[in-house]
Structure 1
Amino acid sequence: MAFDKLANFFGMNDDEYVGEEEDVSDNEVRRNNVVSLQPNNHERSEIRVVEPRRYSDAKEIAKDLLNNRAVLVNLKNVNEEQMRRITDFLTGTVFAINGDIRRVDQNVFLYTPTNFQIDNDTDNFTE
């Protein structure tokens, strides 16, 4: 008898279950979980190709990177000292925005912001 009272107190007695039943409708409104796979035409990825002639051109290249544009930089028109300074400046910029740098050729580099992915699968190409 004490056990029955204790069971009733904790709701373990099935004989006296009183509860409201929920009406389950077959016509329930479901949230639409459809996601469009079409690319957003307003946000195009751009790659700018530049050939800087002096160190001060690195600032304009950095602005492109900060605006989420990749930049292909050909350093053939600068001397060794300017090449080193431009490369150092752009390396710092890319590091700050969590981007990436890839050497394309001897004096050509691809600088990309964080929203670009570079696939470097050159092993599949034959010469």
Structure 2
Amino acid sequence: MERGFFDRVLKFMGIEQEEAASAEPARAVPEEVPYRRRGRLISLPGPGSQQMNVVVAEPTSFDEVESLAEQLKQRHPVLITLERTQGEVARRIIDFLSGATYALDGRMQKVGDWIFLFAPSNVTIDLVQRELEDRSLF
């Protein structure tokens, strides 16, 4: 109220004062930005939006292991059983897939006798079976 009165007195005397900066900052008027079309959009699937495929294989020779490593590179988990594979060949297969999994920041887990799961970095392996074995349920 005092300020309004003081402003009126100054105006009456012919002395106009510039408006004092208000307590509220002035709102900037957004400039019209022309819409720019982007060249490529990359879709990132959210959880549950894409079906996960698991590759199940029973390699009997080392020649089959390269295609399994390609599946890992495509971010598909690979489950292999080596029950019918000769000992030295089985060891080489495990070594090769372990190296490929490590290079892709993935994980390897022995699931059972001669059964192994190789998972890329986008797949988490939960060790529920070990927890159940610890509780003597198996």
Identity, % of aligned positions: 27
2:106 match: 99
Give the root-mean-square deviation of aligned CA atoms: 2.4
Gaps in structure 1 of 5+ consecutive residues: 1-16, 25-36
1:46 match: 53
1:58 match: 65
Query: In terms of Rg, which structure is larger?
Result: 2
How many Å separate the matches in 2 of 1:97 and 1:38?
20
How many Å separate the matches in 1 of 2:96 and 2:87?
14
Q: What aligned pairs does 1:55-94 form with structure 2 within 5 A after superposition?
A: 55-94=62-101
Instruction: Report the TM-score when normalising by structure 1.
Output: 0.69
- The amino acid that maps onto 1:46 is N
- The amino acid that maps onto 2:21 is G
How many Å separate the matches in 1 of 2:60 and 2:68?
12
1:117 match: 124
Deviation at 1:18, TM superposition (A): 2.7
How many Å separate the matches in 1 of 2:56 and 2:112?
14
In the comparison of the two structures, how many residue pairs are matched? 98
Gaps in structure 2 of 5+ consecutive residues: 1-18, 28-45
- The amino acid that maps onto 2:132 is N
- Alpha-carbon spacing, 1:99–1:38, altered in 2? closer, same or farther (3 Å): closer
SS class of match (2:122):
coil
How many Å separate the matches in 2 of 1:119 and 1:96?
21
